[in-house]
Amino acid sequence: MTREEICCGLRVGQQVPDFEIDTYEPTKGDFGKFSLKKAKKAGKWTILFFYPADFTFV
């Protein structure tokens, strides 16, 4: 990752580096992995929805 990414985060218009993240998949009832590379390969749009913590409100 470049220094710019570490201090400011990615900006609109920038290319997101391929990344993977561990997941829980409710439809399977099991753990999995989300890979941006795979979503791109499948021609899919990706919407990332960050939030502070489970078991909280809003």
Partner 1 sequence: MGAEVVTISTDTQFVHLAWQRDEKLLENVKYPMGADPTGNVSRMFGVYDEETGLALRGTFIINPEGVILNSEVNYYNMGRNIDELMRKFKANLHLSKHSNEGCPAKWKDEGDRTLKPSAKLVGKVYEALQ
Q: Which residues are bridge partners to 20 per DSSP?
A: 35
Q: Distance between alpha carbon 42 and the CA centroid of its chain, in Å?
A: 16
46 binds partner 1 (CB under 8 A): yes
Q: Distance between alpha carbon 20 and the CA centroid of its chain, in Å?
A: 7
Q: Which of residues 23-42 bind partner 1 (CB under 8 A)?
A: 23-27, 31-32, 34, 36, 39-40
4 binds partner 1 (CB under 8 A): no
* Alpha-carbon radius of gyration of the chain: 14
Q: Which residues bind partner 1 (CB under 8 A)?
A: 1, 5-6, 8-19, 21-27, 31-32, 34, 36, 39-40, 43-55, 58
